[in-house]
Amino acid sequence: MFITTNSHWENIDPFNCQELIQGKHQHRYLLLKTLRQAQEKIIIVCPWLTRYSLDNNLIQEFKNTLNRKVKIQINWGWQQDIGNIIIPGNGCWQLNPANIWKYDAMSELQKLKQLYPEHFQLKLIGTHAKIWVCDDKFAVVTSANILCSKPGNADNCHEEIGIWTNNINNIQNLINYFSQAPNLAAKKIS
């Protein structure tokens, strides 16, 4: 499935592997595999949240994962949209209906938040990053907007690229970085 960056298989450190992920099909496949195999927590960072990607099938995979008591945290919101499309404050946000297409999956995600309040979290951080972390086992850093787009009928494998890694230092750095990002919805409105 992936193109390896290591050419000498006999010398691979099993705790320091990296692999390329090419195209939207591989990204979607790996995201679904992540949801099915996670045991503790998944952190997903993607600026936009659309029903095109978060279709009924992916929402059901989220539910299946949450039913196994796996925590899912989605860090979302593009910085340039905060204040004009996303209006944050007092722990919540509102969306400007004229430009809601970038976040049209929010109502479905809010339903998950209500159904799984202890296991599902939405955190408005103002980002353009696209990553996900599964437990403390691996991380993906990518160009693919995994919660905004999905593969079409013809996948151009050069359209999106990412790196999968199980390097514990990189994983922990990503977890710390996005855990420390402030929740911009928590700002007080004066």
58-81 residue pLDDT tens: 999 999 999 999 999 999 999 999
Q: Cβ(165)–Cβ(138) under 8 Å? A: yes
- CB atoms < 10 A from the CB of 39, how many? 11
Give the CATH number of the domain where residue 54 resides.
Answer: 3.30.870.10
Residue 2 has pLDDT above 50, yes or no: no
Q: Report the C-alpha gap between 110 and 49 in whole angstroms.
A: 12
* Residue 23 included in any domain: no
* Residue 161 included in any domain: yes
Structure confidence at residue 188 (pLDDT) = 57
- Residue 174, domain extent: 41-186
Q: Cβ(155)–Cβ(2) under 8 Å? A: no
Q: Report the C-alpha gap between 73 and 45 in whole angstroms.
A: 8
* Residue 137 included in any domain: yes
* Residue 35 included in any domain: no
**Mean residue pLDDT across the chain:** 88
Give the residue-averaged pLDDT of 157-165: 86
Q: Largest Cα–Cα distance of the chain, in whole Å? A: 61
Q: What predicted TM-score, i.e. pTM, was given to this entire model? A: 0.89
* Residue 70 included in any domain: yes
* Residue 8 included in any domain: no
Give the residue-averaged pLDDT of 82-102: 85
Number of structural domains the chain divides into: 1
Give the residue-averaged pLDDT of 175-183: 95
Q: Cβ(26)–Cβ(158) under 8 Å? A: no
* Residue 168 included in any domain: yes
